[in-house]
Structure 1
Amino acid sequence: MIGNERHSLPGVIGGDLIRHGKIPVLVFIAVLVSALMVVTTAHKTRLLTAQREQLVLERDALDIEWRNLILEENALGDHSRVERIATEKIQMQHVDPSQENIVVHN
């Protein structure tokens, strides 16, 4: 005799999965988790790559500034060296341009 019971399709599918399909359900969940982790890792990698590029640009700008400061230091160092040699070896003195009296040594 055939019963007139009504079963809902989602209930039948769920019951079959619980009874006979535990491994496929676990594999499906594992695939979903793995896919989400891949997407998250790719996103973080892109963010870190962009941050690294920004840091490289900043490093390059600082390197250029450092080179310019070294050049400036060398230029100023050369001037002070010339001034020191002039005062020590040939006894030159600074002249104040605002002074009206000029002293001439014979």
Structure 2
Amino acid sequence: MKPKANHRQPNLFVEVLKGLAANKLTLALLVVIFASSLSVVQVTHFARQELIEQDQLLQERDELDLEWRYLLVEEEFYSQHARIEEIATMQLEMKRPTSQDEQVIVLP
């Protein structure tokens, strides 16, 4: 059987706490450094979230702009006078009224 050592090794964590308790300024600075590091991490996280959201909104804006351009081209195509007149005469069998087809209504 081995003989037990009479001296006990100091606990490092307890020694560090005793040293910090002895020097209040060091403890205060340590707390401030820890709080500021946490705030830097939090602000960086929020900034990255906002950047991701901005990128998504810019992409959505570009998609909507492209869709708007397609709609303008489609509107231009469907609003051409010659096309409307062709559809009116061919499909709907419409014709321009003559002076004999016109009737004038006089209101009292």
Which category describes the TM-score, using the shorter chain as reference length?
0.5 to 0.7
- 1:94 partner SS: helix
Equivalent position to 1:17, from 8, 20, 24: 20
Quote the residue 1:100 is aligned against. none
Q: CA deviation at 1:17?
A: 3.5
Q: How does 1:57-76 map to 2 (within 5 A)?
A: 57-76=59-78
Q: Say if 1:69 and 1:17 are closer, same or farther in 2 by CA, change over 3 A.
A: same
Quote the residue 2:3 is aligned against. none
Higher helix share: 1
Q: CA deviation at 1:74?
A: 1.2
Q: Segments of 4+ in structure 1 off by > 4 A?
A: 12-16
TM-score (ref. length: structure 2): 0.60
Quote the residue 2:82 is aligned against. 82
AA in 1 matched with 2:89: H
Quote the residue 1:40 is aligned against. 42
Cα separation, 2, equivalents of 1:14 and 1:96: 93
Cα separation, 2, equivalents of 1:95 and 1:14: 95
1:94 equivalent to 2:89? Answer yes
**Aligned-pair RMSD on alpha carbons?**
2.9
Q: Say if 1:65 and 1:83 are closer, same or farther in 2 by CA, change over 3 A.
A: closer
AA in 2 matched with 1:67: R
Quote the residue 2:53 is aligned against. 51
Aligned residues between the structures: 81
Equivalent position to 2:28, from 18, 26, 29: 26
Percent of pairs identical after alignment? 26
Quote the residue 1:102 is aligned against. none
